[in-house]
């Protein structure tokens, strides 16, 4: 089993030496940095399993360092280390994405337990996320029956075609909106907007303005220029629901 790799980011050099020695005696690999900037560089170079990050650092403080680490490495668990009186800031750090926090001074056994628990929690979360992403198709349609399989194949064929107008027929509640979203998600337009319009909910006198926009003062209550839904869906998909109502 590979050694757990811990990155310590703390400006107290004697404290870092002592903690590094203790963790290496527990068969862990340790990297260190004394500023937030150096810690970020070390994380990029070494890719540790877990980070121990002090709240109070010169220059870039612990909160800013935490934000940068999580932005670059969302799955990297970070345990905050705070001094007495910093508890409120440590709690805020956890709310901002830190895995946990410890208050100095703490026992080595407490730290080891926290590291093991944090790594296990992180492993379970990533495993669940992997299975979730693997089991849910990009278009959001779930199912293994022959009918769903045929539907998936049909949607993929439609999504890959050059068709610009598609008519979906079905009773209310049968999933026409879901199918429309699935076609959009499987098409080359997936990164553009999906705009859904419930035509039955639009007053007849406002349908034109809603779809195509209107200039300021074009009708009663038009206090500013209005961009139409057709324009908002440009390059993406405009789904007109309940057109028969």
**pLDDT at residue 128 in the model:** 65
Read off the pLDDT band of 76 (50, 70, 90): very high
Q: Do domains 5-135 and 166-241 have the same CATH topology?
A: yes
**pLDDT at residue 222 in the model:** 55
Average pLDDT over residues 71-87: 87
Q: Which long-range contacts (CB under 8 A, 24 or more apart) does 239-245 make?
A: 239/177, 239/180, 239/181, 239/184, 239/194, 239/195, 239/196, 239/197, 240/197, 240/199, 241/176, 241/177, 241/196, 241/197, 241/198, 241/199, 241/200, 242/198, 242/199, 242/200, 242/201, 243/199, 245/199, 245/200
Read off the pLDDT band of 84 (50, 70, 90): low
- pLDDT greater than 80 at residue 64: yes
Average pLDDT over residues 127-147: 64
Check whether domain 5-135 has CATH 3.90.79.10, yes or no = no
Q: Which of 17-26, 130-139, 159-168, 200-209 has the highest mean pLDDT?
A: 17-26
**pLDDT at residue 121 in the model:** 86
Average pLDDT of the chain? Answer: 84
Which of 43-47, 81-85, 97-101 is predicted least confidently? 81-85
Average pLDDT over residues 141-156: 78
Average pLDDT over residues 235-243: 87
**pLDDT at residue 152 in the model:** 79
- pLDDT greater than 60 at residue 221: no
CA–CA separation, 64 and 43 (whole Å): 15
Which of 4-18, 70-84, 94-108, 118-132 is predicted least confidently? 118-132
The larger pLDDT score, comparing residue 76 to residue 218, is at 76
Q: Domain coordinates of the chain in residue numbers?
A: 5-135, 166-241
- The CATH code of domain 166-241 reads 3.40.50.300
């Amino acid at each position: 089993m590979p050694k757990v790799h811990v990155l310590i980011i703390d400006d107290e050099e004697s404290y870092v030496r002592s903690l590094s020695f203790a963790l290496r005696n527990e068969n862990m690999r340790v990297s260190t940095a004394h500023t937030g900037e150096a810690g970020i560089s070390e994380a990029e170079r070494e890719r540790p399993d877990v980070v121990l990050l002090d709240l109070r650092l010169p220059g870039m403080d612990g909160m800013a360092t935490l934000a940068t680490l999580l932005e670059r490495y969302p799955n990297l668990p970070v345990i905050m280390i705070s001094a007495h009186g910093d508890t409120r800031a440590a709690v805020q750090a956890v709310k901002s994405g830190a895995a946990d926090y410890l208050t100095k001074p703490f026992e080595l056994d407490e730290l080891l337990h926290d590291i093991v628990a944090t790594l296990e929690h992180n492993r379970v979360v990533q495993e669940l996320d992997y299975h979730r992403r693997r089991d849910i198709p990009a278009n959001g349609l779930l199912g293994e029956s022959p009918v769903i399989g045929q539907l998936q194949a049909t949607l993929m064929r439609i999504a890959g075609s050059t068709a610009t107008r598609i008519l979906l027929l079905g009773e209310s509640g049968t999933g026409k909106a879901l199918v429309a979203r699935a076609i959009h998600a499987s098409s080359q337009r997936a990164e553009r907007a999906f705009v859904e319009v419930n035509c039955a909910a639009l007053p007849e006198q406002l349908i034109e303005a809603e779809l195509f926009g209107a200039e300021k003062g074009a009708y009663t209550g038009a206090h500013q220029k209005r961009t139409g839904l057709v324009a908002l869906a440009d390059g993406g998909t405009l789904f007109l629901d309940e057109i028969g109502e």
